[in-house]
Chain A
Amino acid sequence: MKLSVVLLSALMSLLLLSKAAVATEDVPAIAAASSIKFALDDVAEQFQQDTGRKVRITYGSSGNFVAQIKHGAPFELFLSADERYTNQLTSAGQTQGKGTVYAVGKLALAAPKTSPLALDENLDGLKQLIDAQKLKRFAIANPEHAPYGERAKEVLQHLGLWQTIQPQLIFGENVSQAAQFALSGSTQGGLIALSLASAERFKRRANYVVIPQSLYSPLKQRMVLTLKAKQTANEFYHYIQTDKAQHIFAEYGFGKAVN
């Protein structure tokens, strides 16, 4: 019993110490669409090198972030996968201005290297697999709240595959999870963000082809500062618009930002 008392008081004092150690630095919490994970991680690292300032980035689905910010989440900057979501916050009066488009997202069809799915930009390989009833599982992000999921649905609808593919679809909570499903080998492929498919970690496991942008409405990825934004968040917001940061986004296959 004595031992546990000692242990407990040691832990308690550690806790108090750690509380004191966390200074009230300006390290803003930032919400970002999971589609820009790899690109934004690079941008944030570059930002830290150039300015010495840090940011804390949380990745997830844009729809969830809107709900969380509406309930008071402390995010200072929100980088959405689609401007529809930032606009919702703007019209609810929860942002500083309308923000700006920082990149244009693209879709890719991806499949594990062992998959029987033949990759082509008009999804003929997918059609054949469905017709031959050989498609087992196909991943997309949840179209209910993830923009890349919505666009994937548009593509499948456009090509007349949406109804027939239903039983085989599995939904990722966000596009990153969909990508993880698509490459895990438990699915035969998926429609995911080009920025994820072209990332180094993904390329080792899977092949991909870019989907023509005529098949879905453009993914204008907009960012906004929330009412809670302080100086570092503001600086990061402007840094993302610099040529240096934009170049990183382009490397990950994003289209040029057009407002």
Chain B
Amino acid sequence: MDWQALWLSIKLSTVTVVILVPMAILAGRFLAYRQFRGKSWVEALVMVPLVLPPTVIGYYLLVGLGSESWLGQMLEQLLGHQLVFNFSGLVVASILVNIPFAIQPIQRAFEAVPEDVRDAAACCGMSRTKALFKIELPMVWPGVLTAMVLVFSHVLGEFGVVLMMGGNIAGETKTIAISIYDSVQAFDFASAGNMSLVLLLFAITVLALTTSLSRRVGGQHVSSRR
């Protein structure tokens, strides 16, 4: 059982959620409320990681951010270390890969907020920021929660991108999915089985917890509206 890899995966998932979900709230809200030229192109762009194989994204990141590219060299000077083969590189990759999983449910939730509710908030003299926190966020919360769970679990299971640009370094970029792959290659089926089981139980628990949490929050919201 590779606890280090499991911990690294959880850390990666958490950091990705913490960075990506707030950005997705802003982007999802923008896409839900605004009409502008080329909106369908922007929405298509958001969905691209969904249809692109992770190895393609991994390849572009490896070549684009590696020490042979100008961007990679610039970032290396800026950050003091390079992004590829590094934890922070995995964070960047995880964010890119998970954009659709974060934005989609949040955008749908914002779209479901009735316009008259927002108008009422504006009529009461609420600023846009205040309306977001006081009125809209409590209403779209289930969508945000869905985004969080989707992103978290996708990062936990991410394999292709991590393998391509992570370099499989223990404690740095060797995630649980890679560790399972390694164990199978080393004929260590006991360890691979254990880790897979932990991951399975973890996934079930997280899903059950969030479902019940989202139901409770949703229920609260409905009852407060009555």
Contact = CB atoms under 8 A, between A and B. Distances in A.
A14 to B, nearest CB: 8
Given A56-B169, A56-B171, A71-B66, A3 B11 contact: no
Interface stretch (A83-91, A175-183, A207-215, A245-253): A175-183
Contacts of A74: 85-86, 167, 169, 172
Contact of B84 (A11, A15, A58, A72): A72
Contacts of A57: 170
A72 B67 contact: yes
Interface in B1-20: 7, 11, 14-15, 18
Contacts of B182: 59
A183 B68 contact: no
Contacts of A71: 62-63, 66-68, 84-85
A83 B117 CA distance: 70
Contact of A73 (B72, B76, B84, B174): B84
Contacts of A29: 167, 169-170, 172
Interface in B168-226: 168-172, 174, 182, 184-188, 213, 217
Contacts of A37: 186
**B14, B85, B188 — most chain A CB neighbours (10 Å):** B85
B107 interface: no
Nearest to B167: A73
A58 B187 contact: no
B170 A4 contact: no
A100 interface: no
**A58, A201, A202 — most chain B CB neighbours (10 Å):** A58
Contacts of B67: 71-72
A72 B18 contact: no
Interface in A4-40: 4, 8, 11-12, 15, 18, 22, 27, 29, 34, 37-38
Interface in B62-111: 62-63, 66-68, 72, 76, 82, 84-86
Contacts of B174: 58
B172 A15 contact: no
B141 interface: yes
B187 A201 contact: yes
Contacts of B145: 4
A5 to B, nearest CB: 12
Contacts of A73: 84-85, 167
A198 to B, nearest CB: 13
A180 B172 contact: no
Contact of A1 (B66, B68, B84, B141): B141
Given A71-B67, A71-B68, A201-B188, A15 B11 contact: yes
A136 interface: no
Contact of B68 (A70, A177, A180): A70
A147 interface: no
Contacts of A201: 186-188
Contacts of B18: 8, 12
A183 B187 contact: yes
Nearest to B171: A56
A128 interface: no
A58 B168 contact: yes
A33 B166 CA distance: 17
A11 B185 CA distance: 32
Nearest to B67: A72
B187 A180 contact: yes
A60 B217 CA distance: 47
A180 B186 CA distance: 8
Contacts of A11: 14
Contacts of A75: 167
Contacts of B84: 71-73
30 contacts: A8-B18, A12-B14, A18-B7, A27-B171, A29-B169, A34-B185, A38-B186, A58-B168, A58-B169, A59-B186, A68-B85, A71-B63, A71-B66, A71-B67, A71-B85, A72-B66, A72-B84, A73-B84, A74-B85, A74-B86, A74-B169, A174-B185, A176-B186, A179-B187, A180-B187, A199-B187, A201-B186, A201-B188, A202-B187, A205-B187
